[in-house]
Structure 1
Amino acid sequence: MDPEAVTRRLYEALAAGDLEAYRALIAEDVVFHVDGTSIVAGSHRGIDAVLRLGTLVIGETGGTFRTDLRSVLANDSHAVVLHHWTAERRGRRISMDNVNVYRFENGLVAERWEVIADQEEHDAFWAG
């Protein structure tokens, strides 16, 4: 499967809350990079760490976290995604556009970098 198709399926699985479909699209040694100083920041290494990150996001937002895939630009090894996300947490609501850059190996997501539109707002929303 090509990177664009994998990326679109990844967002479909995320939207459906289908953890098994999501897991099937990422490599065992995947790394997700999230900048900032918040509870979601850091380099999350390995499939279990990435899934823990997802569980944290869902739990902290009471299931209100949503992403809307806006655009995918891909070649044989990378995909660049523009998405809009919303969530509620601790009486706050957030609505933001982000860019994610995905790197693929053997048809699976091997690495992701999250480019946050407003780092200060992001860190405040996800503060510990």
Structure 2
Amino acid sequence: MTTDNRNIVERALARVIETGDIDTLEPLLSADFVHHRPGSSSRTRAEWLAAARPVPMGDMQVEIQHMLAAGDHVVMYSQRRLPGAGPGIAVVDIWRFEAGLIAEAWEIIEPVAQAPANFEWWKSAAHPRGREAPVA
């Protein structure tokens, strides 16, 4: 099942990038599909597809850095760029499969240009002199 799920993700991404048509994913999403992203509410299949349609998928360059599959989950780390849109974004996608369909998805996006600044998040009031928190 793990290999099947990974193959489904790989084929789906190739199809979306090749055609630029996000609707090619619809048959792979379960009827009760839920998409989660930090800072926004969860979306249903119809809501997620509607929100993703304006993204110029056919123009996007996607470099898959890592893809892991275990049980009913597939996790992918990628870097994505749009021509003329700067350095791009780093994305972690997590998909949960149920009965051969994607039932749930989580997505975390970080603009690559902001990555160095985001390394500073752990320097808080608890570490006022700028010392890094001890690593456990």
TM-score in terms of structure 1 length: 0.70
Tell me if 1:52 matches 2:50: yes
CA contact (8 A) 2:72 2:98 kept: yes
Higher RCO (C-alpha 8 Å, min separation 6): 1
CA deviations over 1:8-59 (Å, ceiling 9, x no partner): 11211221224453222111221111223xxxx43111x211211211323x
Corresponding residue of 2:26: 23
Tell me if 1:81 matches 2:76: yes
Corresponding residue of 1:42: 41
Tell me if 1:72 matches 2:74: no
Corresponding residue of 1:101: 94
- The number of aligned residues is 112
Letter in 2 for 1:55: R
CA distance in 1, matches of 2:113, 2:43: 20
CA distance in 2, matches of 1:119, 1:97: 6
**Which structure carries more strand by proportion?**
1
CA change 1:18–1:116 in 2 (3 A) is closer
Over aligned residue pairs, what C-alpha RMSD do you find? Answer: 2.8
CA distance in 1, matches of 2:101, 2:62: 20
CA distance in 1, matches of 2:23, 2:54: 17
CA contact (8 A) 1:11 1:69 kept: no
> 10-19 or 103-112: which moved more?
10-19
Tell me if 1:32 matches 2:35: yes
User: SS of the counterpart of 2:71?
Assistant: coil
CA offset at residue 71 of structure 1? Answer: 2.2
Between structure 1 and structure 2, the one with the greater Rg is 2
CA contact (8 A) 2:79 2:89 kept: yes
CA distance in 2, matches of 1:54, 1:66: 16
User: SS of the counterpart of 1:93?
Assistant: coil
Q: Which runs of 5+ in 1 are unaligned?
A: 122-128
CA offset at residue 70 of structure 1? Answer: 2.6
**Identity %, equivalent residues:** 27
CA distance in 1, matches of 2:75, 2:12: 13
Q: Which runs of 5+ in 2 are unaligned?
A: 115-136
TM-score in terms of structure 2 length: 0.66
